[in-house]
Amino acid sequence: MKSANSNASITSSAAALVIATAASVLFTASIIFSRRHRDVLARLAELEETRAAERKGRIRAEMKLRTQLKNDTTCNELQSSIEGPKDARADDGSILKHNLQLHCIGTVVSPYTKRMGTPRQGALVPSGRGYIQLRIPPECVEGLELYSHAWVLFTFHANTDTPSLKTNSNGEIMNLTKTKIRPPRGDGIKVGMLATRSPHRPNNIGLSLVQIVKVDKKKKQLHIAAFDLVNGTPVYDIKPVVPWDVPGHHDKVPLSVPSWVSQDDALQTVKFTPLAKEALEKHVRNGKLSPLYTSKNDGLKGSINTTEQFYTASPGSGQCAGFLDGVSLLQMQDLRRFETIGIAER
């Protein structure tokens, strides 16, 4: 009897312990759940606040944009009323969006290392040789070797006085102070910069006609001749010349130019002294004019021809110095005669 009572007491104690443990677990779980619930509610409140702030900012930005567009429209209307009616085809009301970003597709390797000493037109020095080192897949120029000439779009990277342009709300340039220039053979007259081939322009863009010599796909090089490009010139585009580019080919309207463009001012003779020729031959042999003029590609004759053609077509006066790749050429000139008297390594 006594043993039975003892067993019953132990069973009751065990049951009480189990109940107490279960209650403790439930209490702990409720606390954990309560904390997590609180954290979730706080996170939701934070997200709602962030969403509201973003929506408020977006609404503010949209209102600002609408106000700006309205002001631009008012400004354009005011400008139009001042300037009078315009051809609608000439302006779609969004000039600024037409600003163009260009990507360099190649760089010119040229014997003309300075602006001084570069032909004013490539055709005046047909023996000038160089190439464009391409930065695009060589497949892009496949077939270009079937043409004799190409147009090269480039930038005048050696300019030292490129204007910093400012525009009004219509995109019109407002601070172009120099609009006219004196062309080299114009005898002092002034003409608008866009009526000349001057490198000093609102946009630093040039267009040059070159002769295609060959395409080297393996080295990604377009070899050219008869060009007027300074060494290192960035190239933005290359287009083949077609017959329709020649004025009068289709419509029979002859090409006309001002008298100062067509006047003949070429020299009669250009020659090297024996000392200058010997020095030039030494520089070619030692690779000073490499890779364009070397012993392997008739570099002496080529460099002499290039120099003679350049100074025949581009006369000046007095003593001057020109640059051909790695050397300086010192010349003496009078009226109709030009003589290279010395050559020095630079």
| Record: fold of 262-346 | YaeB-like fold (3.30.2310)
Looking at domain 99-160+178-243, its CATH architecture is: Beta Barrel (2.40)
Q: How far is Cα 121 from Cα 313, in angstroms, rounded to an integer?
A: 9
pLDDT digits (tens, 9 = 90+) for 45-72: 888 888 888 888 878 777 776 666 655 5
Q: Is the pLDDT of residue 293 over 80?
A: no
Q: Which of 155-164, 307-316, 321-330, 331-340 shows the highest mean pLDDT? A: 155-164
Average pLDDT over residues 301-313: 62
Q: How far apart are CA 178 and CA 161, in angstroms?
A: 11
Instruction: Please report, rounded to a whole number, the percentage of residues in the chain having pLDDT higher than 70.
Output: 60
Burial class from Cβ neighbours inside 10 Å (0-12, 13-18, 19+) for residue 322 reads buried
Contact 299, 280 (CB under 8 A): no
pLDDT at 90: 54
pLDDT at 26: 77
The more confidently predicted of residues 278 and 135 is 135
- Average the pLDDT over each of 139-148, 172-181, 269-278, 337-346 and give the range with the smallest value: 337-346
In the chain, the percentage of residues whose pLDDT exceeds 90 is: 18
What is the residue-averaged pLDDT of the chain?
73
3-state secondary structure string, the chain?
A: CHHHHHHHHHHHHHHHHHHHHHHHHHHHHHHHHHHHHHHHHHHHHHHHHHHHHHHHHHHHHHHHHHHHHHHHHHHHHHHHHHHCCCCHHHCCCCHHHHCCCCCCCEEEECCCCCCCCCCCCHHHCCCCEEEEEECCCHHHHCCHHHCCEEEEEEECCCCCCCCCCCECCCCCECCCCCCEECCCCCCCCCEEHHHCCCCCCCCCEEEEEEEEEEEECCCCEEEEECCCCCCCCEEEEEEECCHHHCCCCCCCCCCCCCHHHHCCCCCCEEEECHHHHHHHHHHHHCCCCCCCCCHHHCHHHHHHHHHHHHHHHCCCCEEEEEEECCEEEEEEEECCEEEEEEEEEC
Please check the confidence at residue 332 and state whether its pLDDT lies above 50.
no
Instruction: State the Cα–Cα distance between residues 282 and 295, nearest whole angstrom.
Output: 10
Residue 108 confidence (pLDDT) = 93
pLDDT value of position 207: 93
Average pLDDT over residues 128-132: 89
Between residues 197 and 123, the one the model is more confident about:
197
Rounded to an integer, the average pLDDT of 307-318 is: 53
The torsion angles phi and psi of 42, rounded to 5 degrees, stand at -65, -40
Mean pLDDT of 221-230: 91
On the question of pLDDT at 209 being above 90, the answer is yes
Specify the pLDDT at position 132: 95
Q: How confident is the model at residue 211 (pLDDT cuts 50, 70, 90)?
A: very high
> Strands 205-216 and 221-225: what pairing?
antiparallel
Could you give the C-alpha distances from 260 to 187, 254, 255, 256, 315, in angstroms and in order?
8, 18, 15, 12, 15
Mean pLDDT of 318-332: 45
**Residue 92's pLDDT is what?**
52
- Per-residue model confidence as pLDDT tens digits over 155-190: 988 876 666 666 666 666 655 667 888 887 777 889
82-122 pLDDT tens trace: 444 555 555 554 555 567 788 999 999 988 877 776 777 77
If you average pLDDT over each of 75-79, 128-132, 291-295, which comes out highest?
128-132
Task: Give the pLDDT confidence of 4-52 residue by residue, as tens digits.
Answer: 555 566 667 777 777 777 777 777 877 887 788 788 888 888 888 888 8
